[in-house]
Structure 1
Amino acid sequence: MKRREPLGLDMTPMVDIIFILLIFFLVSSVFKKEELALMLELPNAGASKEVQEKKTLSIELSKDSLAVNGDKVSYEEIMFKVLPLAKDGKMIMFYIDKDVPYSRVVRILDLLKTHSLNKLALITKQE
């Protein structure tokens, strides 16, 4: 008498379905180009110039917070984040909330100027 082997579950169709779902979600998802850490209300400007996005570093400034490339930092540690990234010749994109006191803006600009980081763009909303 021949001995029968127990029947097992065939996993091939389930693996196929998993891969199809994975491909579907990867293709249909939206990838954000740039994500800002702070919710800023930028001031309006009439004239603007397009800046290359590939070689940029972003600094965001609100009334209470400061962020570099989407990471919140304190004023004391901003240069530890900015200097290694800006030495590669990257343009610094400076996002400033419209309600920020001018003295806070000047404080950051002075800090950048002392380290000879002059490639700076102030970002505004277009009308």
Structure 2
Amino acid sequence: MPLKRTTSDDPLQLNLTPMIDVVFLLLIFFMTATQFAQVERAVELELPTVGSDGTSVAAVEEERVVSVSAEGVVTLDGVPRSIDELKADLQAAKEASTAIDGPAVLIHGDSRCDFQHVAAALTACRAAGIANVGVSVETSDTIRR
């Protein structure tokens, strides 16, 4: 008794194009995310710690990062600046901004630095006309005293 063999002329093929597209999109995403994270890692800071009640994080389209190190060195997006240069750069950024309120500024102040340096950066933001200013802190359930 002869057995039937089902064979097809075309072997089964797997379409890899969608999988390759997904891999490329993931690659682009991670490359871009790494570039944005490098600005914040350029300066070694120990952020102040606050309680987790009442804290919120808002997403913004245009954000400038001002870092104040423990020694009082002020950087704008990883580039060291004096307070006068910071004010001038922020004024230029506000004029070039497409947002109504101008760019958002996030200040990373090291918890070991004098508050005077952070206050000077806040004053430079106010003098430049920046309305959207935030101060970065670490949140925890218990506050160190």
Structure 1 residue aligned with 2:18: none
Q: How big is the shift at 1:63? A: 2.6
Matched, 1:91 2:118: no
Structure 1 gaps of 5+ residues are 1-22
Count of residues in Structure 1 that have an aligned counterpart in Structure 2: 104
Distance 1:82 1:42, change over 3 A: same
Structure 1 residue aligned with 2:126: 113
TM-score when scaled to structure 2?
A: 0.60
What's the Cα RMSD here?
2.5
Q: How big is the shift at 1:28? A: 9.1
Provide the rounded CA distance (Å) in 2 between the counterparts of 1:57 and 1:115: 13
Structure number with the higher helix fraction is: 2
Tell me which stretches of 4 or more aligned residues in structure 1 moved more than 4 Å: none
TM-score when scaled to structure 1?
A: 0.68
Q: Answer whether contact 2:70 2:111 (CA < 8 A) is retained.
A: no
Which amino acid in 1 is paired with 2:113? V
Structure 1 residue aligned with 2:47: 42
Structure 2 residue aligned with 1:57: 64
Structure 2 gaps of 5+ residues are 1-22, 141-145
